[in-house]
């Protein structure tokens, strides 16, 4: 089972409730229905989908979470990102497919990430209007971890970009 398959199997609220009931000890559809309050048909459909995904098994006629499948999904490698394996772990953690997936709380890591963004987005010595800066930063914000205005402010605050009369420049 892949992590994507696991996420897909648990994407539905009803399936999550059924899976939780099984993990907490429900061994058949009647117990799951009683514990979740879901209709029997929903429970049967969810149970079948969870079994097809490899999340639950039916040993000795009872349902149980397939712990080995869960362990295998946890061991699975994370999807490749745009940072090469030799790159800094900060980049591997916070950048996926050219977009920010988070912002480090630690200032040194944040500065390193912002320097990476500035180097990839702006040429040294080139002057940029604010709109051009925003357009260059929007792709970094595609994953929703930050917005372009906040990112622009961070770059100026860290002096990775200078701002004078609405014109920005990478130093």
Domain containing 59 — which CATH number? 1.10.10.10
Q: What is the mean pLDDT of each run of 10 residues along the chain (171 residues)?
A: 73 91 92 95 91 81 83 63 58 88 90 94 94 94 88 94 94 76
| Residue 81 domain-assigned (yes or no) | no
Residue 76, pLDDT score: 67
Residue 4, pLDDT score: 67
| Residue 112 domain-assigned (yes or no) | yes
Using CA of residue 123, residue 124, residue 126, residue 130, what is the dihedral sign? positive
Same domain, 69 and 93: no
What one-character DSSP code corresponds to residue 138?
G
Residue 87, pLDDT score: 67
Q: Contacts by 127-133 with C-beta closer than 8 Å and gap 24+? A: 127/167, 127/168, 127/169, 128/167, 128/168, 128/169, 129/166, 129/167, 129/168, 130/166, 130/167, 130/168, 132/168, 133/161, 133/168
Same domain, 121 and 67: no
| Residue 115 domain-assigned (yes or no) | yes
- Which among 46, 75, 104 is the end of a domain? 75
Residues 6+ away with beta carbon under 8 Å from 97: 81, 82, 143
- Which among 44, 75, 106 is the end of a domain? 75
- Which among 48, 75, 102 is the end of a domain? 75
**Domain residues for 139?**
89-170
Total number of domains in the chain: 2
Same domain, 35 and 63: yes
Residue 52, pLDDT score: 83
pTM: 0.51
Residue 77, pLDDT score: 53
């Amino acid at each position: 089972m892949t992590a994507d398959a696991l996420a897909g199997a648990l994407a539905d609220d009803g399936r999550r409730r059924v899976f939780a009931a099984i993990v907490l000890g429900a061994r058949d559809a009647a117990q799951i229905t009683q514990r979740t309050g879901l209709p029997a048909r929903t429970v049967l459909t969810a149970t079948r989908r969870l079994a097809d995904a490899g999340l639950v098994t039916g040993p000795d006629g009872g349902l149980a979470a397939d712990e080995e499948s869960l362990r295998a999904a946890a061991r699975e490698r994370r999807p490749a990102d745009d940072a090469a394996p030799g790159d800094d772990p900060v980049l591997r953690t916070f950048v996926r497919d050219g977009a920010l997936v988070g912002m480090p709380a630690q200032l040194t890591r944040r500065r390193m990430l912002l320097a990476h963004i500035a180097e990839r987005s702006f040429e040294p010595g080139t002057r940029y209007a604010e709109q051009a800066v925003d357009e260059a930063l929007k792709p970094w914000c595609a994953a929703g971890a930050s917005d372009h205005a906040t990112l622009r402010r961070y770059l100026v605050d860290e002096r990775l970009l200078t701002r004078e009369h609405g014109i920005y420049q990478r130093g």
